[in-house]
Every structure is written in structure tokens, then in C-alpha cells.
A and B are shown apart, each in its own frame.
Chain A
Amino acid sequence: MVAAPVHAEHVEVKKITITVSAAASLSKVYTELGKQFEKANPSIKVRFNFASSSSLVSQIQSGAPTDVFAAADLTSFNKLLATGNVAKQPKVFARNSMQLVVKPGNPLRISSVADLQKASVISLCAKTAPCGVYSATVLSGYGVAIPESKITRGIDAASTLNAVSAGDADAAIVYATDALLAKKQVAAIPIPVGKNVKAMYGIGVVRGSKNSKQADAFILFVLSPAGQKVLNTFGFLAP
């Protein structure tokens, strides 16, 4: 019997993996945050689960193993507080706003939300997703009512934007941060602050997490100056 070679210098600390369920609008920035966090904490591995915050709420409520939840609104946390899936109020870690996006070159000459009547297909988030709620607020602020027959519903913020960037939808109301990431595929039209929303992003540990210490460490990193700097480069505003 040959003895197995021993690499004393390769003895690694057993890595602990935490699962972070985060809003779809956070996918790019959180992937980057995860990389930096893992670099600073070699013993922790971060696994992400991106979907619309409302889908994530249902997943967590039905027992999906999750350590950290990061949502695009605070209502999602209220739902989890009500069902006892989180113990504390969330920490607000970023702010976002909505933007109107259209096809490059703006062929329909849409200059504001009030012009949306010109579009034949408008992409909006599912009514229950935070981005769906935010866009409904924006539309009602303008007093614009779009018939359901002109609205294609994306299942999350990312797919809502895809309908304009890859598909044939004429316009979409999406997060400013998503519009920034897709600036080569779509043209963005800002929505003035007075008519816009303040989308507050919350983060917290999910009750039942077996790695709450590591989960806390990740949350602290997101809130730290280093984490905030990353969020800022991706267009998120300080809370």
C-alpha cells in the first residue's frame, strides 16, 4: 500500500458557503461584491440566488435554505417579519430610482413617461415584483394609464429590460442602475426626482441560517465603505 502524498502546505481551512438570495437588479453588483468579500474572507464562499424580491420572499417562506436576503424594497422584509422568517428590521444599504428606456435612437421620440401612449408594447415588471410596484407608482404620478393589452410583464427587473434590449418592446420602466448597465443596447430617459420613487434596498439575515456569523460578516461588508464604493460604481445611491 502506497501512502497518499501529504501536502502539508496545502492544508486549507474548510470553507463555509453562505447562500445570499438577492433581487435580480443586484445581480451584477452583488457578484462583484461577492468576489471582493471572498478575497477578504478566504474561509467563506458566497453562493447567489437572484430572482425578483417577491419570488425570493415566497422561496424563503417555503423553506429555501437562505442565509442572507437582499431585497429591492422594504415591503418584502415586512412580509418575512410577519411570517417570522426574519427576526429584525433590515439594514438599508442602497437606494435606486426608476428610468424610462427606449430603443437606441429613440425612434418613437418618447421624451417622458407621459409619451408612453405612443408605444405599442411597453415592458413592465410583474405587478408583485418591487420594480412592478415602483413603475406603477411612477405611472400613476403622471396620471398615465396604460391598457394591460400593451404591457408585457417581465418576471423580474432583468427580463423586463431584456424585452427592449433584445426584444421588440418599445419602452420599459426599469431601475436606473439596470439602464446604466445596458446603456449600449438602450437609450435612457431620466424621470425627474419629483415624479420618481426612492427604491430602498434592504438586507438582513434569514432566521434559521446555520451560518449567521458569516452572514453577518457579508452584510457588514455590504455596508462598509468598500462595499458602498462598489455599489456606487454600479450606480446605486447611498441610502
Chain B
Amino acid sequence: MNHVSSRTPRFVRIGALVGVAFLALPIVGLLKRVAWSTLWTQLTDVATRDALRISLYASICATVLALVLGLPLAWCLARMQFKGRRFVRALVLLPMVIPPVVGGVALLGAYGKSNGLLGGLLNSLFGIQLTYSLWGVIVAEAFVALPFLVLSLEGGLRSIDAKYEESAAVMGATDLTRFTRVTLPLLKPSLVAGLMLAWARALGEFGATITFAGNIQGRTQTAPLAVYTMLESNPEGAYALSFLLVAVSVGVLVGLRDRWLGGGSQ
């Protein structure tokens, strides 16, 4: 460590310090605003509890949905050569770069009951309405979280040496045993990281959710929506909930520590 720092120019170190302050100050500012004495009361308030329950449930379901859709996608992108591969890859990345609100508008265009491409059909055939429902929240969150999972899995699948899988096949393992006994254990680090990232993204989702699934307390109002809605009516509650969301994010980082924290110079 000393060896490295002695060669790092001073202005770089100062720049890094400014960077640290830039990132840390807002967090400190938030912590300063939290009313610690009423924290528990605020977090157990009906609206907050509802929001937390919806957020937790929807973000987990969205992560599962993203996994179900994302694993085959990542597999094909990592291991297949096919026409339109670049197009599929760009499509997968798109929800990551478009503004979430635009994502919500796009989802309305697809699954809206009154004027969505598929939404009207879903409703008239099966009586399914995604908008203003918990499933709508899950779909919106999965839409924005999917790229994170696919990217992580694709990288993981690429880095697995194909000879392990091949030798398993030579030894007569079926596709399924080969996947569960060979590929999956090797893929585990990227899978865990991808799941955590996708889940964190789903948990923090705002724009697509409010546009597509609305802001119904107890039904589609997730924790970020509750923070925004409460900011004027009940700032103490908004800060308390914000604090909890930051704490959860820190938890995710701790979960990913092997991958991201302390990388390199342990």
C-alpha cells in the first residue's frame, strides 16, 4: 500500500478525497435529518409498513422473474453465434440507459389495458390487468433490473472454461446434471452478484413504477414512491424510510464485498 501511495501524485490524492466527500456528504446530510428518537414509530406507521412490504415482495418477485427471463438470454448471448446477436444485446441493455419514466410509458404501450399492444387482449381473454396492480410493479421492476442480471451472467458464462462442461458430457452426464453439477457452481459468484444488483435496482425503482403501476398506497406504492409522496406531508417519515433504504443498500454492498470491496490489494 505504501509503495503505491508514494508514487501517486498529490493532486490525484486530493482529487480522490474530493470524490469521497462528494459521495459521502449527501449520505451524512441524510443521516443528519433522520429523527432517531421517532425512527421506530415512523418505520412502523401503516403507510411505511405497507410500502416496505410491497417493496420487499415486488423486488424479490421481480428478481426471480428477471432470472427466469435473463438466464436463457445470457446463455445465448454468451455461447451462441446467431444473426441479430448484437441487436438482442442492445435490446437487453436498453432498459439500463433509457430514463425509467420512458420505460414506464413504453410498458403502458405494451401492457396498458386501454391502449396497450397486448394489455387489451390480456384483459379481455384472461381478465388480467397489470396496470395499478402489484404484478404491474413486479413487471416494471423486472424490466429495469433485467439488464444487470443478464450482463453479470453473460460475463460469468463467458469466463467458464468450456472443457469442464465438455468432459462432464463425455463422462455421460445429462444436460441437467451438467448444468447443476458443473456450470452452476462455476457460475455462482456472477449469479449471486447479478441477483444482488438486479434486486437492488428493483428495490430502488421509481419512474417506471409510478408511470406504469401508479402510486396506490397499500397496493402499488413502493418504498421509493412513499419517500417521494411523504416528503412534503411527513418529512420525518420520508427521512426514516430513506435511511432504511440506504441501510439496505449498504447491506447489499456488504453481501458483494468479495467482488467489489477491497478488490485487488487485500
Count of A interface residues, CB-CB < 8 Å: 26
By beta carbon, the residue of chain A nearest B234 is: A128
By beta carbon, the residue of chain B nearest A160 is: B215
Instruction: Judge whether A167 and B211 touch: CB under 8 Å.
Output: yes
Instruction: Judge whether B218 and A149 touch: CB under 8 Å.
Output: yes
Instruction: Judge whether B231 and A152 touch: CB under 8 Å.
Output: no
Q: Which residues of A contact B112 (CB under 8 A)?
A: 166-168
Contact with A along B119-131 (1 / 0, CB 8 A): 1000000000101
Instruction: Tell me which of A55, A103, A148, A152 contacts B132 (CB under 8 A).
Output: A152
Instruction: Judge whether B215 and A148 touch: CB under 8 Å.
Output: no
Instruction: Tell me which of A54, A152, A154, A166 contacts B232 (CB under 8 A).
Output: A54
Interface residues of A in 37-79 (CB under 8 A from B): 54-55, 58
Is A91 close to B, CB under 8 A? no
Question: Given the interface contacts A128-B233, A167-B112, does A152 sit within 8 Å of B105 by beta carbon?
Answer: no
CB distance from B232 to the nearest CB of A (A): 4
Interface residues of B in 201-230 (CB under 8 A from A): 210-212, 214-221, 228-229
New A-B contacts (13) at CB < 8 Å, excluding given A103-B114, A121-B216 = A121-B214, A126-B233, A148-B216, A148-B217, A152-B215, A152-B216, A153-B215, A153-B221, A153-B229, A155-B210, A155-B215, A167-B131, A168-B131
Q: What are 19 A-B pairs with beta-carbon distances under 8 A?
A: A54-B232, A103-B114, A121-B216, A123-B214, A127-B233, A148-B218, A149-B217, A151-B216, A152-B132, A152-B214, A152-B220, A153-B221, A154-B215, A155-B228, A162-B211, A167-B112, A168-B108, A169-B132, A169-B214
Is A163 close to B, CB under 8 A? yes
CB distance from A144 to the nearest CB of B (A): 18
Interface residues of B in 82-121 (CB under 8 A from A): 105, 108, 112-114, 119
Q: Which residues of A contact B231 (CB under 8 A)?
A: 58
By beta carbon, the residue of chain A nearest B211 is: A167
Contact with A along B224-260 (1 / 0, CB 8 A): 0000110111000000000000000000000000000
CB distance from B124 to the nearest CB of A (A): 13
By beta carbon, the residue of chain A nearest B119 is: A168
Interface residues of A in 189-229 (CB under 8 A from B): none
Instruction: Judge whether A166 and B218 touch: CB under 8 Å.
Output: no
Q: Which residues of A contact B218 (CB under 8 A)?
A: 148-149
Q: How far is the CA of A129 from the CA of B119 in the complex (A)?
A: 31
CB distance from B26 to the nearest CB of A (A): 14
Q: Which residues of A contact B129 (CB under 8 A)?
A: 168
Instruction: Tell me which of B119, B214, B221 contacts A163 (CB under 8 A).
Output: B214
Q: Which residues of B contact A128 (CB under 8 A)?
A: 232-233
CB distance from A122 to the nearest CB of B (A): 10
Interface residues of B in 131-171 (CB under 8 A from A): 131-132
Q: How far is the CA of A148 from the CA of B214 in the complex (A)?
A: 13
Q: How far is the CA of A163 from the CA of B131 in the complex (A)?
A: 10
Instruction: Tell me which of A54, A55, A153 contacts B217 (CB under 8 A).
Output: A153
Instruction: Judge whether B132 and A168 touch: CB under 8 Å.
Output: yes
Is A150 close to B, CB under 8 A? yes
Contact with B along A168-199 (1 / 0, CB 8 A): 11000000000000000000000000000000
Instruction: Tell me which of B105, B132, B229 contacts A126 (CB under 8 A).
Output: B229
Q: How far is the CA of A150 from the CA of B218 in the complex (A)?
A: 10
Q: How far is the CA of A162 from the CA of B131 in the complex (A)?
A: 13
Interface residues of B in 168-211 (CB under 8 A from A): 210-211
CB distance from A54 to the nearest CB of B (A): 5
Q: Which residues of A contact B105 (CB under 8 A)?
A: 166
Q: How far is the CA of A154 from the CA of B215 in the complex (A)?
A: 7
Q: Which residues of B contact A169 (CB under 8 A)?
A: 132, 214
Q: Which residues of B contact A126 (CB under 8 A)?
A: 229, 232-233
Instruction: Tell me which of A123, A152, A154, A166 contacts B108 (CB under 8 A).
Output: A166
Contact with B along A99-115 (1 / 0, CB 8 A): 00001000000000000
CB distance from A218 to the nearest CB of B (A): 26
Q: Which residues of B contact A120 (CB under 8 A)?
A: 132
Q: Which residues of A contact B221 (CB under 8 A)?
A: 153
